[in-house]
Amino acid sequence: MCKQQLLKVLEVVEKQDTWRKKECINLIASENIMSPLAIEVFSSDMMHRYAEGLPYKRHYQGTKYVDEIETLVIDLGNKLFRCKHYDPRPISGMIANLCVFAALTEPGDKIANLKIPDGGHISHSIVGTAGVRGLKTLNMPFDSKEMNIDAEKLKKVKKEKIKLVVLGGSLFLFPHPVKEIKEVLDDTKILYDAAHVLGLIAGKRFQDPLREGADVVASSSHKTFPGPQGGMVYTDNEKISKQVAQAILPGLISNHHLFRLPSLAITLIEMLEFGEKYADQTVKNSKKLASSLYEMGFKVLCEHKGFTESHQVVVDVRENEGGKTVAETLERANIICNKNLLPWDNNEDTDDPSGIRLGVQECTRTGMNESEMEHIANLITRVIIKGEKPEKVREEVIQFKKEYSKTKYCFT
């Protein structure tokens, strides 16, 4: 029995590695692949150890090399994101948001957020992390044609007592109007959730939230930023950094999953070296995938704005049987994306929303450029619009993927 289960574990892992890594076109906008070097250092002895606290001020002995790596990570984070206080300890993007909520709000306070169908992440909402903190929420006005926050209309809610504005999100095509919102809500603190676009920010290809007026940035480390799964918070404000540090320990995280740190260090170095080229190609690719899908007959959002300025392409597939069926049909062809709520959906439509969301960052990391985006658009069109059997297209996808087995924009 025991042996059978062991063999099962090995078999399932091998299947995962073959299928998702070697045979699929991966278009989930919140995923990425680490570089070979980052993978190599991922399973160091640090995975077994404890190091509560800050480097060289730990609550445990035996941490001298962890201290060295974490100090390096902090220095590299400050350099890449041009900030003064980079903290890599939050163990996920949601926890990073919670650390900021714990630092800057009290239960009962009100935050301004985006509704989930407008792109807000669940952690910004009362069904998620904001609710766990006991916060109330005020949904910011959203222009679904422009796919952005309506800063003008936000002026009307200025009188509402808002403790924190949360920008950034999961459906994120265009830079948010950080500067305009700072002007409207002057001394209200702004948290910018950079999880989706962190790699583009690092590559100077999206927006620069701290320079535009955000007080603090929280993020995960594994979407457009191709690091190990985890989180981070950064700011220029010393007081906020100390409040966040207090929220981290003793508040929310004891040990901060040390095995991530060497891989994070490698990723930060590689993003300093290759980040601009990678971010640039990512945005070129998303624009090309979007325009190709549009020309082939799909209702891609925001044609009038060039479709996207991020890694994401958003398609309204109500005419094509809806988000659930389209995403499931594409999976049968080994094209992996997710169904997604769009602004005109209700929260309750989660099981079968209007849209699909495609992210090109992982394909870009494997060396795909504009011509490959056109090819992918064609494969999607054949399955969804022309009605070709997904299983037949899957064979072509497997062959196509063989050409893209290496990771680019990194040291080899």
Q: Which residues bind ligand DSN (CB under 6 A)?
A: 30, 93, 170
Residues in Cβ contact with 99 at an 8 Å cutoff, skipping those fewer than 6 apart: 90, 218, 233, 244, 247, 248, 251, 252, 253
Spatial contact of 214 and 63, defined as CB atoms under 8 Å apart = no
Q: How far is the CB of 289 from ligand DSN (least distance, A)?
A: 17
Q: Nearer Cβ to ligand DSN, position 267 or 310? A: 310
Q: Nearer Cβ to ligand DSN, position 93 or 175? A: 93
Q: How far is the CB of 383 from ligand DSN (least distance, A)?
A: 22
Q: Nearer Cβ to ligand DSN, position 30 or 286? A: 30
Q: How far is the CB of 121 from ligand DSN (least distance, A)?
A: 6
Q: Nearer Cβ to ligand DSN, position 30 or 292? A: 30
Q: How far is the CB of 159 from ligand DSN (least distance, A)?
A: 32
Q: How far is the CB of 238 from ligand DSN (least distance, A)?
A: 29
Q: How far is the CB of 174 from ligand DSN (least distance, A)?
A: 16
CA distances from 138 to 111, 115, 126, 170 (A): 6, 9, 10, 18
Q: Nearer Cβ to ligand DSN, position 95 or 178? A: 95
CA distances from 162 to 113, 165, 193, 325, 375 (A): 10, 7, 17, 40, 47
Q: Nearer Cβ to ligand DSN, position 93 or 226? A: 93
Q: How far is the CB of 326 from ligand DSN (least distance, A)?
A: 17
**Calpha distance 366→285 (Å, rounded):** 12
Q: Nearer Cβ to ligand DSN, position 168 or 322? A: 168
**Calpha distance 313→62 (Å, rounded):** 47
Cα angle 73, 120, 327 (rounded to 5 degrees) comes to: 95
Closest residue (Cβ) to ligand DSN? Answer: 30
Q: Nearer Cβ to ligand DSN, position 219 or 291? A: 219
Q: How far is the CB of 44 from ligand DSN (least distance, A)?
A: 26
